């Protein structure tokens, strides 16, 4: 495992982090808490020291599992979480005011609930789970982030950028008001390379590359006949003819990478880490 400094937040994180949405048990189905605990312990044994979870993942269940594992890890593990939109709309819609989504008191209350779920005194990174550039000039999120940092409950702050819209956070990154952003970035969606990644590097803002495996497509496990439980998030994500399309794209990718050492997931991670 290799490590790097997480932007101006200043702490060291493993280059490979653990995305804990699947531990929640509501949106991703098929796993058990016992499997989650083993996976977290295995990740720690391999040197991973950074986990990204959220209050919305299983209504706090992911946070509780993460907190249990982190407290028993025997060494420091950095934890990031997220404040869910109050109106429960993913992604954020243009034209909806910040007061309906992230009012000051709500951001603070969600952060305190996350800390209780995790059993920790402070979050290494707290994020807004969606972002709308129309909110940039609003006071509530700025004041909440400032007060949470000053109180010691949060060490760094950031946002999770709406899917496939990296340029919507350029003004935010340029402002210096956040320590980190997370954005969809993988072999299939390289759009952050054009503006967001260079600007984040220039401003010292940490970047979390979201869905490096494209929700599982780049693991190579999705075939033309793959299906999911209707209540599973992936049933919608891989709806219709998309499993066949994904299988064909992955097959083409394998042909392009023929002779390159490494499994498909390893190559997908290597792509994110090398750009």
Instruction: Confirm if 146 and 176 have CB atoms less than 8 A apart.
Output: no
Which tokens is 36 given? 């989650």
Which CATH class, in words, describes the domain spanning 3-211? alpha beta
Note the residue count of the chain: 275
The closest alpha carbon to 49, from 70, 24, 67, belongs to: 70
pLDDT tens-place string over residues 90-127 = 999 999 999 999 999 999 999 999 999 999 999 999 99
**Cis status, amide bond into 91, omega within 30 of 0:** yes
Could you give the 3-state DSSP secondary structure of residue 273? Answer: helix
pLDDT for 77 equals 98
Distance between CA atoms of residues 114 and 132, nearest Å: 23
pLDDT tens-place string over residues 246-256 = 999 999 988 99
Question: Residue ranges per domain, the chain?
Answer: 3-211, 215-275
Instruction: Confirm if 50 and 23 have CB atoms less than 8 A apart.
Output: no
Ranges of the chain with pLDDT below 50: none
């Amino acid at each position: 495992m290799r490590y790097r400094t997480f932007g101006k937040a200043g702490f060291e994180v493993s280059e490979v982090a653990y995305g804990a949405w699947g531990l929640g048990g509501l949106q991703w189905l098929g796993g058990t808490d016992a499997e989650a605990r083993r996976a977290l312990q295995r990740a720690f044994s391999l040197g991973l020291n950074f986990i990204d979870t959220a209050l919305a993942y299983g209504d706090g269940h992911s946070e509780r599992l993460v907190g249990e594992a982190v407290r028993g890890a025997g060494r420091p593990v950095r934890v990031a979480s997220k404040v869910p939109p109050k109106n429960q709309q993913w992604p954020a819609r243009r034209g909806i005011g910040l007061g309906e989504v992230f009012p000051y008191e709500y951001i603070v209350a969600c952060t305190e609930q996350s800390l209780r779920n995790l059993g920790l005194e402070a979050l290494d990174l707290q994020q807004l789970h969606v972002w709308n550039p129309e909110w940039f000039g609003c006071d509530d999120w700025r004041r909440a982030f400032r007060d949470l940092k000053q109180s010691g409950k949060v060490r760094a702050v950031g946002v999770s950028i709406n899917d496939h819209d990296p340029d919507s956070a350029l003004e935010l990154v340029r402002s210096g008001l956040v320590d980190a952003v997370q954005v969809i970035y993988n072999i299939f969606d390289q759009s952050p390379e054009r503006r967001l990644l260079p600007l984040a590097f220039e401003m010292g803002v940490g970047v979390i590359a979201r869905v490096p495996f494209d929700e599982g497509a780049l693991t190579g496990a999705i075939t033309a006949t793959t299906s999911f439980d209707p209540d599973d998030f992936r049933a919608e994500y891989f709806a219709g003819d998309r499993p066949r399309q994904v299988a064909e794209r992955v097959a083409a990718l394998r042909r392009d990478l023929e002779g390159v050492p490494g499994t498909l997931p390893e190559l997908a991670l290597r792509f994110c880490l090398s750009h």
